[in-house]
Amino acid sequence: MANTYILIAEDDAVLREVYMKKFNISGYNIRTAENGEEAIAEIQNKEPDILILDINMPILDGFGVLERYPKAARKFPVIMLTNFQDDKYKSLGLELGADDYFIKSEMTIHKLLEMVETLLKAKQYFGEKQDGAA
């Protein structure tokens, strides 16, 4: 975990701080972005092991970031964060390649941490399978 790098793209400063503290305490290296453009710059600087991506952000929203990094072209999983409980947002996020979907009002930070750990284990497992097949 100590070498695991998580990028959190969240425009709400309070939530960003809460996520950052929880993941730091859990042993992850964290970087943050306040909007989609910053998220893209961070990804270009260093690709994360996982991206936690808010949908509703200024300048460029989470959907714009997903369009820039489609699932087939990226090596990191994405968890979409949203306050929207509308199924059309979830459907669009999943269509654009989100690996999981987190509705802030319905979930706890503990559940988000579990999602991250599950996706990282799957990424590691499938990465090893692909390396072994080559």
Taken in order of first residue, the domains within the chain and their CATH numbers are: 5-128 (3.40.50.2300)
pLDDT at 131 over 60: no
The answer to whether the beta carbons of residues 48 and 9 sit under 8 Å apart is no
Tokens of 119: 């996706």
Band the pLDDT of 127: cuts 50, 70, 90.
low
pLDDT at 121 over 70: yes
Higher pLDDT, 83 or 23: 23
Tens digit of pLDDT for each residue in 31-90?
Answer: 999 999 999 999 999 999 999 999 999 999 999 999 999 888 899 999 998 887 778 888
pLDDT at 134 over 50: no
The answer to whether the beta carbons of residues 53 and 68 sit under 8 Å apart is no
